Chain A
Amino acid sequence: MPTLSDIEAKVSRGERLVAEDALFLFNHPDLLAVGQLANRVREAKHGDRTYFNKNMRVEVTNVCVASCLFCSFAKLEEGSPGAHTMKLEEAWRELETRMDDPPSEIHIVNGLHPGLPFSYYEELIKGFKRIKPDIHMKCFTAVEIHFFAQHYKMTYEEVFEKLKAAGLDSLPGGGAEIFHPEVRSRISDDKATGTEWLQVHRVAHRMGLRTNATMLFGHIETFEHRVDHMQRLRDLQDETKGFQAFIPLAFHPDGNGMKNLPAPTAIDDLRTIAVSRLFLDNFDHVKAYWVSSTPDVAQIALRFGADDLDGTIVHETIYAAAGSTSPQGLSYGQLVRLIREAGRIPVERDTLYNVVKEHPRAASPEAAVKVKDRKAHLHVIGGAS
């Protein structure tokens, strides 16, 4: 059994943590100690720089043949109440109407629709590129790519060749959930397996596409399953170096097949961010996805190992359907303010982490900005003064 000092020594030496270390950190009673260690690694990698981008989510269809227990977004059949599939023009209009202040990235994630031709997805990407040729198209989770391959009878390579020709630039990290079959078979047994998810990303990396990786935590999985998940990602990253960011996603229970479970708490969010920063030494970035954790907790996560807040998003619908209290989008200015109030330097990036604009840090850390200049000890009761 390791101790916190053992792990701190490893971190100081730049030595890789093993699964047992990560499990120890998940179970350690002192969250702040784990957070401080993760913050040290984060600052060694990025200093105070904290990344975000101007992106826009588009979910063109929620019709889906998969029946994942945790999903509140998908409707199984076209024509079901709440089911929708955008016409291509409707999807493109999402960008056309924002061309006065356009995003740099469009992030598309959908249900697994059995009735659309593959050309729909090719045209979808082409249309966005026609409107804004330099827009970065980050489209389709590995689960969707696997579905395309099966449904349209292609190899992963053939799917990617066609989508790249249409304008696909990178892949998001969704659909990873929890890789371990003990969990995956119970929460989403009718879509790509963990091994298939990883193989899609392996192929994508080999074909020059950068991707992200997520982990849906806080439902029926154990800490061992989380560590196993991160271990598989770290192994693939050693092999391909194609992942950009790791994004822990907190489970939300409203309106889905696991509504009897409680949502993970803020402390679980922060601990998972911290442990992932320490364990995934070969990932450049750990993202605090403000939609899943709320902007407040995401801001705190910037002190627990996270260096990225995702982006403006504009109109998120998947977490909104699961009862998230987060807004569906944040403005550019709100993101800059969240980061500056955390005492960090806001850096607008593109999808591939090229710097678009670095903003100045706040004149003073958040305490000087916001803590009122008053005698703090007036706000306590009792004690042996």
Chain B
Amino acid sequence: MILESIRRAGLGDVLDARLAGDLDTVRATVDTWKTKDLMALGALADLLRAKEIGSTVRVHVGAVVPASIAGKGLAFLREIAIARITAAPGAAVIVDGRTAGLELAQVALGFGGSELSLSLTNKRGLPIAEDALKKVKGQGMVPLVELQKREIERVLSGARRSPVFVVPEEMRNAHAQ
């Protein structure tokens, strides 16, 4: 059904070229297909993501990842999908969760996104202190950072994806000193 819907949306040639590894054609024709039906574009992008990368999502916490894609709304999902389709097989398409928010980022991972860049913040968008603790019933005082990671895991598992948290180099160094 998915393949049929991709072809019905006029994306059959893109699918074939992409699967054949003909990236030049895919990239050269982007203007002819980038405005096709968003759901079909997303389905094509997600199919490629699943085939090339699988269900693991690398989550970059704290560090700003320059190549991450930022945005809002449907245009953002389209941009993620286009990035996946035009990317080399297995390349990382990084969703900027800082701008999109975790909710929208979760959806974007279903449109071809493979990695997530996030800050750990409170509800007001302020950064969480590394030593901040919160009392959790039955668990005592738990680091807020840990609770946020659990929330990210929950949201990603709702998208049937498994997070791997990536600690940025500068943070690793800071902890080592």
Contacts and interface: CB of A to CB of B under 8 A. Distances in A.
Interface string A282-322: 00000000000010110110010000000000000000000
Contact of B88 (A36, A365, A384): A384
A29 B2 CA distance: 13
Nearest to A264: B158
Interface string B65-100: 001110111110111001111111111111000000
Interface stretch (A94-102, A168-176, A372-380): A372-380
Contacts of B133: none
A341 interface: yes
A343 B74 contact: yes
A325 B122 CA distance: 12
Interface string A347-385: 000000000000000001111111110011111111111
B107 A270 contact: yes
Contacts of B5: 33, 36
Interface in A111-152: none
A39 B23 CA distance: 30
B74 A366 contact: yes
B40 interface: yes
A27 to B, nearest CB: 11
Contacts of B42: 32
Chain B interface main SS type = helix
A39 B8 CA distance: 14
Contact of A265 (B78, B82, B103): B103
Nearest to A31: B110
A8 interface: yes
B30 to A, nearest CB: 7
Contacts of B84: 380
B51 interface: no
A34 B110 CA distance: 13
Interface of A: 4-5, 8, 29-33, 35-36, 39, 260, 262, 265-268, 270, 294, 296-297, 299-300, 303, 323, 325, 338, 341-343, 364-372, 375-385
16 contacts: A31-B110, A260-B137, A265-B158, A296-B104, A297-B107, A299-B74, A341-B74, A372-B79, A375-B27, A375-B86, A376-B83, A377-B23, A377-B83, A379-B83, A379-B93, A380-B87
Interface of B: 1-2, 5, 23, 27, 30, 34-35, 38-40, 42-43, 46, 52, 67-69, 71-75, 77-79, 82-94, 101, 103-104, 106-107, 110-111, 123, 137, 151, 154-155, 158-160
Given A262-B151, A296-B104, 11 more contacts: A265-B154, A266-B103, A296-B73, A341-B73, A342-B74, A376-B79, A376-B82, A377-B88, A380-B92, A382-B88, A383-B89
